[in-house]
Structure formats: structure tokens, C-alpha cells
Amino acid sequence: GEDVEQSLFLSVREGDSSVINCTYTDSSSTYLYWYKQEPGAGLQLLTYIFSNMDMKQDQRLTVLLNKKDKHLSLRIADTQTGDSAIYFCAERRGGSARQLTFGSGTQLTVLP
């Protein structure tokens, strides 16, 4: 999506941490999401964060939100080869609209 930006590619070694970054433009965004898409598959909801939070941790996943800079990141600890996929951040904007605006996706490649 033109208003949500992500870097296109990230390569890490198995066992290292991965950090996937996302910037968004709408300061009224209420919820921000991370989805994972494996080749030819659907979108799997990984985690989300409400805009009044700074951080959310869920097992190997840590989401950091810097609302001032409109910057969102997803950290995957102890990255495994099964984590190789495209990761999309998405925002749900304020108001009555419920649809999501997605970033362009980051292709994460985990090297053995």
C-alpha cells in the first residue's frame, strides 16, 4: 500500500533475531497488525498492537510501536527456517472504517 512502507527483503542466519520494520502515515491508525504469508498460502495473523501501547510480546514475537515517528517493528527471536515467508504490516485507520491497508511486504529468508 502506498501509505504503509516496508523494506522488501531481509536475510538472517538461523538462530539470529530478525527485525522487520514498517512505517505508516496515518496518525489516527488505531490498530496495527503483522501478517505472515507463505508461498501460495493465505495470510496468517501473527500479532497486533493497539495504538496506545508501546510494546507487545508474544512468545518469540515482540512488536514495538513508536507512534511519534509512526514506526512499527516486528522482532522474531531465534529465527528458524520455518519463519521464511513474506511479512506484511497492516494498519486499521481511525473512524468507522474497518478495512486494513497493507504494506508492500518484507520477504524474510532464513539461511541455515
Partner 1 sequence: AAGVIQSPRHLIKEKRETATLKCYPIPRHDTVYWYQQGPGQDPQFLISFYEKMQSDKGSIPDRFSAQQFSDYHSELNMSSLELGDSALYFCASSWEYNEQFFGPGTRLTVL
Q: Residue 87, interface with partner 1 (CB under 8 A)?
A: no
Residue with smaller CB distance to partner 1, 14 or 73:
73
The correct pick among 45, 55, 77, 111 for binding partner 1 (CB under 8 A) is 45
CB of 43 to partner 1, least distance (A): 4
Backbone angles phi, psi at 81, to 5 degrees: -60, -30
| C-alpha cell recorded at residue 4 | 504503509
**What is the spatial distance between Cα 11 and Cα 32, in angstroms, rounded to a whole number?**
24
Q: Residue 93, interface with partner 1 (CB under 8 A)?
A: no
HSE-CB at 22 with a 13 A cutoff on CA atoms is: 31
| C-alpha cell recorded at residue 6 | 516496508
Q: Residue 49, interface with partner 1 (CB under 8 A)?
A: no
Residue with smaller CB distance to partner 1, 41 or 111:
41
